[in-house]
Structure 1
Amino acid sequence: MKSTGQTSVFGRRKEPHTIIIAHGDEIRHFTLRPWAACLAGSVLAAAAVGYLLATSYLVLRDDLIGAATARQARMQQAYEDRISALRGQVDRITSRQLLDQQLMETKVSELIERQAELNERGSRLGSMLERAENTVGASLPSTAPDAADKPDNRAEITQPAAGYSLASLDATDIKPLSLWKTRTGSAPDDTTADRADRLFSSINQSLRDIENRQISHISQLADNAQRNADAISDALETAGLPAERFSSPDGGEKSDVGGPLIPVDGSTMFDSKVKDLDEALDTLDQLKKEARRLPLANPAPGHVVTSPFGVRTDPIIGTAALHSGMDFRAPTGMEARTTAAGVVVKAGWNGGYGRMVEVDHGQGYATRYGHLSEILVKVGDKVTAGEVIGRTGSSGRSTGPHLHYEIRHNGAALDPARFLRVGKKIAQYL
């Protein structure tokens, strides 16, 4: 049988699918179009895929959440590790800064102590240098370096800290290196610590140089004083005059000595040199006092000696006789001055001396000034060196105006020329 939907012209015709549903007497039918079938299939496929995806998500969600949590935990751990590393680096920097600060505070404290010590030395040296200059006197330039070669640094020696302000620093004023920033705001680095260390080294070297100059200056003064004392003592001993020989600060001979080597610090060296200088100045002072008590000055400087000490032909009777003094040509009325300090023991007419003044200088020494035309002192007067005691003339046993000058020791006449030579030799030290 042929289908009714078939024609002879176009062949067999496609009929739509029809779905018939019978329920009792009721019959229903639905025509299913191709596009509707495709749509229904697509919907069902999409629903199936969605169901599968939802089921997969629900199944794999815990794994995904665990993986995300683990990843987040790893990231957090990495951040914590980084923070710990940074904290450790900050702690190391802080510790280094604290150590640098403590080191700086220690160095500053040491410098302040050294500065205080130098200031204390300067106060001690002030009076001692003044005493040394007064004691050594005019002989210092002959032994000291040239002023052109070495400038006067007395102010620096006695006030060594004038160019520094360390005394105003305190431990709280020393900031850690982290706070030592330049004006541009850049953080400090190793070069800042290096610069600070070089600064401390420079100041320390400056203070050490001042210490060395102090010790060198003291040693030079002590050497000058001892040299002058030796020169005075040698001159007096050569002339047979009394002079106590004091030991030099260096202890004299250096042979046949020994002992363990014990290095000394700057303070001990300074105290030792100050002691040497003090002893040398005491020695020089004592020798100067002894020399000044002796009649070493010229009673008539610039005047010719007309008759020396010793045996001569007597000018009155022409026979050999002992001349117990020296005669200086002097006009009548010239001032007669003493050659050393003492006490007047005779002042008046004394036989062949005419008008005469005798001065006792102690230690058995006395001087006589004869043939005066006028006496200006009296017995018991205390006179100083160079004081006018009378005026020259020609009184007594004399052939013309002159000054007769004698030096006696325990009553025995001595050659005044010997005293005059010594006085001229050591005049620069007195």
Structure 2
Amino acid sequence: MKQAYHTGVFGRRRELPTVIIARGEHIRYFKVRPWMIALAGSAAAAFLLVTLAAATYLTLHEDIVSAALVRQARLERAYEERIAALRAQLDRVTSRQLLEQQLMQRKMAELVERQEQLTRQQSRLSPVLERAGELRADEQTIPVPSPRPEIRAGLTSEKFGLPTVASAYSQPEEKAQVPWPLRPGYGESGTAEETEEQVLSAIDRSLDDLEADQLARIGSLTETAYQTTEAISAALDAAGIPIAEDYGVEPAGGPLLAAVGALLPFEEKVRELDEALDRLEKIKQTARRIPIANPLPGAAVTSSFGIRSDPIIGRPAHHSGLDFRAEYGAPVRATGSGTVIKAGWNGGYGRMVEIDHGNGITTRYAHLSKIMVQVGAHVEKGGIVGRVGSSGRSTGPHLHYEVRRNGRAVNPLTFISAGRRIQKYL
């Protein structure tokens, strides 16, 4: 069935499209009106536009997102590369600082070890210096290192608070006064590393000076010991007293030169000083036993050794000693250490004391008024053995003094003269 309708065009009637839907015996139909067609077309157009817009948006959005992701990836990669570069630079700086710190610690350890070595050397020197105490005072000053400091980190250059490393004998204005600890803070000029290097270099130079001066002083002491030994030996030789036999060795000598693989220079020098002091002490002991002193210091000699006119008979006679004029009762002193072998009356000698000094040397003290020692007693040089008198064959108070070697009288004046020359060394 069709339904006619009028159009507004030329007065003609057009029929509406009819849609028939048949399903089995059921038949349905409806009219498709123009507005429905317009609505459906509008909806289709709108859907098409929406679909195109969506497709366009999705396409453009994907490109935008991809570009953003690429840009973000580039930024992340650049950031990571920057971080890696900074980290590598930090590692290099840290490694350099660690190396510098290790180097500084190694240098400090070496300096502390050197200072400890100097302290040990001073301990090694102490007993030798005690033996050398009788040498000249200006020759016994040996540099002593300051105590080892406790090295602590984090101290500034103005808070040292520890002793300086300097020579004990040096002038303060001439020697560098280097304070501990070894790691000061930043100075006004230069970096901390430069300041530390300067401090370490100054300490190293100070320790070098200290060690060099220590060796020089040891060498000076050794030379003094040799010279003193030579002076005493020469004086005794001039008196006809050989002393090589007292050492118990054949005559030999020569400078002490360090052998390859032998002791360190310091040990060699200390050893040489020790040997020189041994020789000096032995010769001093020998000189103290030998009668080289004056039995009556300050007394005048009235009769010398040798041929003279005898005061009693008035004829030439051999005088076996020296006569010293002195007041009655003046003390008579031993001219060397030894053992009393005679103490009593001995003919023309009157009251006499005879002392054995070893090596075949004896001394006699005659015409005494009083004897102060007994046979077998040990007397030291300068000890009183009796009093001046005029006992025996004598014309007045005086001391008759003899020196005998292997029982034969020798001139006592040569011994006394030798004693005067070496008195300052004993």
TM-score by structure 2 length? 0.75
Query: Could you tell me how far apart the structure 1 residues matched to 2:63 and 2:184 are?
Result: 54
The answer for the alignment partner of 2:267 in structure 1 is: 271
The answer for the alignment partner of 2:418 in structure 1 is: 422
1:161 aligns with 2:146: yes
Query: Could you tell me how far apart the structure 1 residues matched to 2:298 and 2:49 are?
Result: 145
Whether the 8 Å contact between 2:346 and 2:352 is mirrored in structure 1 is yes
Match of 1:402, as an amino acid? H
Matches within 5 A, 1:296-315: 296-315=292-311
Match of 2:359, as an amino acid? Q
Match of 1:350 among 346, 353, 372: 346
Match of 2:387 among 388, 391, 410: 391
Structure richer in helix, relative to its length: 1
Query: Could you tell me how far apart the structure 1 residues matched to 2:208 and 2:233 are?
Result: 37
Cα deviation 1:327-376 (Å, max 9, x = unaligned): 01111111111111111111111111111111111111111111111112
Query: Could you tell me how far apart the structure 1 residues matched to 2:108 and 2:313 are?
Result: 90
Distance of aligned partners of 1:249 and 1:215 in 2 relative to their CA distance in 1, 3 Å threshold: farther
Matches within 5 A, 1:51-66: 57-66=57-66
Whether the 8 Å contact between 2:363 and 2:403 is mirrored in structure 1 is yes
Whether the 8 Å contact between 1:118 and 1:161 is mirrored in structure 2 is no
Match of 2:316, as an amino acid? A
Whether the 8 Å contact between 2:243 and 2:283 is mirrored in structure 1 is yes
The answer for the alignment partner of 1:238 in structure 2 is: 238
Percent sequence identity is: 47
Match of 2:255 among 250, 254, 278: 250
Please state how far the C-alpha of 1:20 moved relative to its aligned partner: 5.7
Whether the 8 Å contact between 2:184 and 2:195 is mirrored in structure 1 is no
Query: Could you tell me how far apart the structure 2 residues matched to 1:285 and 1:396 are?
Result: 40
Query: Could you tell me how far apart the structure 1 residues matched to 2:279 and 2:184 are?
Result: 59
The answer for the alignment partner of 1:360 in structure 2 is: 356
The answer for the alignment partner of 2:276 in structure 1 is: 280
Distance of aligned partners of 1:377 and 1:388 in 2 relative to their CA distance in 1, 3 Å threshold: same
- RMSD of aligned residue pairs (Cα, Å): 3.3
Please state how far the C-alpha of 1:229 moved relative to its aligned partner: 0.4
Please state how far the C-alpha of 1:56 moved relative to its aligned partner: 5.3
Query: Could you tell me how far apart the structure 1 residues matched to 2:360 and 2:109 are?
Result: 62
Distance of aligned partners of 1:407 and 1:85 in 2 relative to their CA distance in 1, 3 Å threshold: same
Cα deviation 1:243-288 (Å, max 9, x = unaligned): 128756724xx9xxxx9x9699xx7110011011001000100111
Whether the 8 Å contact between 1:101 and 1:174 is mirrored in structure 2 is no
Match of 1:288, as an amino acid? K
Query: Could you tell me how far apart the structure 2 residues matched to 1:281 and 1:71 are?
Result: 91
SS state at 2:369 partner: strand
Whether the 8 Å contact between 2:235 and 2:418 is mirrored in structure 1 is yes
Query: Could you tell me how far apart the structure 2 residues matched to 1:190 and 1:293 are?
Result: 68
Whether the 8 Å contact between 2:186 and 2:192 is mirrored in structure 1 is no
Query: Could you tell me how far apart the structure 2 residues matched to 1:113 and 1:227 are?
Result: 35
Unaligned runs of 5+ in 1: 1-18, 27-47, 146-151
Matches within 5 A, 1:122-141: 122-134=122-134, 136=135, 140-141=136-137
SS state at 1:399 partner: coil
Unaligned runs of 5+ in 2: 1-6, 16-47, 156-182
SS state at 1:285 partner: helix
Runs of 4+ in 1 over 6 A off after TM superposition: 48-55, 180-184, 261-264
With a CA cutoff of 8 Å and minimum separation of 6, indicate the structure with the bigger relative contact order. 1
Query: Could you tell me how far apart the structure 2 residues matched to 1:115 and 1:336 are?
Result: 55
Query: Could you tell me how far apart the structure 1 residues matched to 2:190 and 2:328 are?
Result: 90
Report the count of equivalent residues. 355
The answer for the alignment partner of 1:99 in structure 2 is: 99
The answer for the alignment partner of 2:69 in structure 1 is: 69
Query: Could you tell me how far apart the structure 2 residues matched to 1:324 and 1:56 are?
Result: 150
Query: Could you tell me how far apart the structure 2 residues matched to 1:314 and 1:105 are?
Result: 88
Please state how far the C-alpha of 1:204 moved relative to its aligned partner: 2.0
The answer for the alignment partner of 1:379 in structure 2 is: 375
Please state how far the C-alpha of 1:24 moved relative to its aligned partner: 3.7
Distance of aligned partners of 1:181 and 1:23 in 2 relative to their CA distance in 1, 3 Å threshold: farther
SS state at 1:296 partner: coil
Please state how far the C-alpha of 1:67 moved relative to its aligned partner: 2.2
Please state how far the C-alpha of 1:239 moved relative to its aligned partner: 2.1
Whether the 8 Å contact between 1:236 and 1:422 is mirrored in structure 2 is yes
SS state at 1:339 partner: coil
Cα deviation 1:207-245 (Å, max 9, x = unaligned): 222211211111111111111001111111122112128
The answer for the alignment partner of 1:32 in structure 2 is: none
Distance of aligned partners of 1:237 and 1:153 in 2 relative to their CA distance in 1, 3 Å threshold: closer
Query: Could you tell me how far apart the structure 2 residues matched to 1:321 and 1:224 are?
Result: 46
